[in-house]
């Protein structure tokens, strides 16, 4: 139905993109009264936008667009605020909406409240009480960062045992790639001194023994992560229905579920079938789930949304987290590994032959491939798997995305360009983890993380993202960090890689849409595209660069209808 009257709508549009003088059909909605940043180089700014049946039908001067005003046309006055395209999520985990509602927030300021180990334990205690988790029930927390706690360490297994003698506890690291477990949680998953450390994984051990100390990362944590008990399906569906407001209030009109398990696909389809999604959601089934999700058939994208939901690719994880010191590098970390390893390089999550096989399976099915790769060794592994799977022509366009690609080398960036691989960068890391990266990897590598400017200079158009819930959902802050690249401590992380506010806006609008193959439908304010729009409190292109982070989303519009609006007097945070 969203496409049924496309031809009729196009008839209302003149060649110049403004309203046709001869068109007699009034617009349903006209937006005017403030700066309009179109992200369309052919028409960068406008005074007004007209919308009919969820599509943009005119963009141009107020005088021209207002000719489409009829008796029933709703005219929205921006009051000096700025209109931009709806934000397209470059990478996040939509299902993390459930975690933030049911687990303890153990992040450090400004993302969370925890400054000490005692604060973390207090946050866990609070969620135990709020959710009435009696003996034997799992107590979960997320977002702890040992580098930011006063003690420079995580709560120990023994501290968690003392605080929670009757409950298994899983405290997930800020990276999402590992966790601290207490003794009851270790016992629940039968992790003992006899448990071997799996390839690509980390099991911390007590000094002088093989007894687990509670720390699990990567492939040692993945099987547990997939089996963690959570709320029932009815509660999950209720949380997703109401929790999507977190995306809407940040101006996101297209979201990503960035590593979707089979049961999550099933639940999202139920949510969509009920008409409960207010924004588009792109699912990326995790590689180990594709046989079940695709019924044993080759994995393929769903070409169109059904009730605002579609499968848009397949996700593979090649390595871990640079802040968790599990990302795979070709040179050693300057600090010890997460379990005290010396001259630590990190590890690939899966051996190269396995990655080669998986990439070929995705390519043969025609699905878009999204590969998590942080360290340069993992990026080498992606490039090798791409080369092997592509046969004679690695330059064939496949839409492959290197998710994060943070510590990419210049030669690898050039190979991305030659082989048509697009990075979805992560400039928010400059703020949240920039100081950690300087300590772990040194100034030169830290300064080249998420090299937006170098990529664009090569003709690559990278997306940008928050990786929620690794970092808070805040699309405006992705613009701010791409433009400023300032760390928590005030260091500039790679001044040479700063980009302009317009380029940063493009990364979370048209470039995000291009990553999904949807640039003809969304990502800019142009006639014929969906009316996915965001009203901002100020224009990010004209305010002082250092103040971009203070801009707030005032209204989110999906297919021409307002789906979220800031209440009068509402605290911006």
pLDDT digits (tens, 9 = 90+) for 164-221: 999 999 999 998 899 999 999 999 999 999 999 999 999 999 999 999 999 999 999 9
Give domain status of residue 184, yes or no. Answer: yes
Q: Which residue has the tokens 């090798």?
A: 384
Q: What percent of the chain has pLDDT over 90?
A: 91
**What single string gives the DSSP state of each residue in 367-401?**
PPEEEEE-SHHHHHHHHHHHHHHHTT-TTS----E
Give domain status of residue 534, yes or no. Answer: yes
Confidence at residue 570, expressed as pLDDT on a 0 to 100 scale = 75
Q: Which residue has the tokens 């389809």?
A: 269
Question: 178-181 and 533-536 as β-strands: parallel, antiparallel, unpaired?
Answer: unpaired
Q: Do 3 and 111 share a domain, yes or no? A: no
Confidence at residue 28, expressed as pLDDT on a 0 to 100 scale = 97
Confidence at residue 572, expressed as pLDDT on a 0 to 100 scale = 55
Instruction: Please name which of 476, 481, 486 lies closest in space to residue 539, comparing C-alpha atoms.
Output: 476
Q: Do 81 and 139 share a domain, yes or no? A: no
Backbone angles phi, psi at 34, to 5 degrees: -170, 170
Tokens standing for residue 49:
């936008």
Confidence at residue 573, expressed as pLDDT on a 0 to 100 scale = 52
Give domain status of residue 362, yes or no. Answer: no
What is the DSSP code (8-state) at residue 256? E
Diameter of the chain measured on Cα atoms: 84
Here the CATH number for the domain that contains residue 32 is 2.30.40.10
Give domain status of residue 403, yes or no. Answer: no
- CA–CA gap between residue 216 and residue 189 (Å, rounded): 12
Full-model pTM: 0.92
Q: Do 105 and 150 share a domain, yes or no? A: yes
Q: Which residue has the tokens 């496309």?
A: 6
Q: Do 50 and 141 share a domain, yes or no? A: no
Instruction: Please name which of 178, 110, 111, 144 lies closest in space to residue 472, comparing C-alpha atoms.
Output: 111
Tokens standing for residue 280:
């588009």
Quickly list H helices, 516-556: none
Mean pLDDT of the chain: 93
* Structural domain for 198, as ranges: 96-225
Confidence at residue 230, expressed as pLDDT on a 0 to 100 scale = 85
- CA–CA gap between residue 116 and residue 138 (Å, rounded): 22
Backbone angles phi, psi at 19, to 5 degrees: -65, 140
Q: Which residues of the chain have pLDDT under 70?
A: 1-24, 571-573
- CA–CA gap between residue 480 and residue 250 (Å, rounded): 14
The total domain count for the chain is: 2
> Are residues 239 and 257 in contact, defined by beta-carbon separation less than 8 angstroms?
no
Give domain status of residue 217, yes or no. Answer: yes
- CA–CA gap between residue 368 and residue 354 (Å, rounded): 18
Report how far apart, in Å, the C-alpha atoms of 406 and of each of 258, 336, 412, 428, 488 are. Answer: 17, 20, 11, 11, 18
* Residue ending a domain, choose from 177, 193, 225: 225
Give domain status of residue 125, yes or no. Answer: yes
Strands of the 309-311 sheet, one edge to the other: 87-88, 252-260, 280-285, 309-311
Confidence at residue 17, expressed as pLDDT on a 0 to 100 scale = 44
Here the CATH number for the domain that contains residue 115 is 3.10.310.70
Q: Do 70 and 180 share a domain, yes or no? A: no
């Amino acid at each position: 139905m969203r496409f049924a009257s496309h031809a009729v709508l196009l008839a209302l549009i003149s060649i110049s993109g403004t309203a046709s003088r001869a068109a007699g059909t009034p617009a349903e909605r006209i937006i005017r009264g403030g700066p309009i940043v179109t992200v369309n180089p052919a028409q960068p700014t406008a005074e007004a936008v007209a919308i009919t049946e969820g599509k943009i039908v005119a963009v141009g001067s107020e005088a021209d667009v207002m000719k489409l005003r009829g008796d029933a046309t709703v005219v929205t006055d921006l009051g000096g605020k700025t209109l931009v395209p709806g934000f397209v999520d470059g990478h996040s985990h939509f299902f993390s909406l459930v975690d933030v509602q049911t687990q303890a927030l153990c992040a450090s300021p400004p993302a969370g409240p925890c400054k000490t180990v005692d604060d973390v334990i207090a946050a866990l205690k609070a969620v135990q009480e709020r959710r009435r988790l009696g003996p034997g029930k799992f107590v979960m927390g997320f977002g702890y960062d040992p580098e930011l706690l006063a003690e420079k360490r995580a709560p120990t297994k023994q501290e968690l045992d003392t605080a929670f003698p009757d409950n298994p506890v899983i405290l997930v690291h800020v990276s999402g790639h590992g966790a601290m477990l207490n003794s009851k949680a270790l016992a629940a998953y039968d992790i003992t001194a006899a448990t071997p450390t799996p390839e690509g994984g980390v099991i911390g051990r007590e000094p002088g023994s093989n007894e687990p100390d509670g720390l699990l990362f990567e492939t040692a944590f993945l099987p547990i992560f997939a089996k963690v008990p959570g709320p029932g399906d009815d509660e999950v569906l209720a949380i997703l229905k109401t929790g999507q407001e977190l995306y809407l209030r940040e101006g996101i009109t297209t979201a990503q579920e960035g590593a979707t398990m089979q049961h999550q696909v099933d639940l999202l389809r139920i949510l969509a079938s009920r008409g409960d999604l207010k924004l588009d959601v792109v699912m990326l089934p995790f590689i180990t789930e594709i046989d079940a999700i695709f019924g044993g058939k080759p994995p393929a994208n769903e070409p169109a949304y059904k009730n605002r939901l579609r499968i848009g690719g397949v996700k593979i994880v090649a390595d871990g987290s640079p802040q968790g010191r599990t990302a795979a590098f070709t040179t050693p970390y300057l600090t010890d590994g997460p379990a005290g390893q010396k001259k630590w390089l990190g590890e690939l999550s899966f051996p190269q032959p396995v990655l080669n096989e998986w990439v070929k399976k995705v390519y043969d099915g025609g699905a878009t491939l999204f590969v998590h790769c942080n360290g340069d060794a993992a990026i080498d592994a992606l490039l090798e798997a791409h080369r092997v799977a592509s046969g004679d022509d690695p330059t064939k366009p496949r839409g492959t995305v290197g998710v994060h690609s943070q510590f990419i080398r210049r030669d690898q960036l050039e190979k991305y360009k030659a082989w048509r691989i697009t990075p979805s960068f992560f400039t928010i890391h400059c703020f949240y983890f920039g100081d950690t990266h300087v300590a772990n990897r040194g100034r030169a590598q830290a300064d080249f993380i998420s090299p937006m400017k170098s990529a664009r200079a090569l003709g690559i158009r990278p997306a940008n993202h928050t990786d929620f819930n690794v970092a808070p959902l805040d699309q405006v802050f992705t613009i701010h960090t791409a433009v400023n690249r300032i760390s928590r401590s005030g260091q500039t992380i790679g001044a040479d890689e700063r980009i302009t506010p317009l380029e940063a806006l493009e990364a979370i609008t048209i470039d995000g849409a291009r990553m999904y193959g949807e640039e003809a439908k969304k990502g800019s304010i142009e006639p014929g595209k969906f009316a996915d729009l965001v009203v901002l409190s100020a224009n990010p292109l004209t305010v002082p660069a250092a103040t971009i982070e203070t801009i707030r989303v005032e209204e989110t519009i999906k297919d021409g209808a307002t789906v979220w609006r800031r209440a009068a007097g509402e605290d911006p945070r």
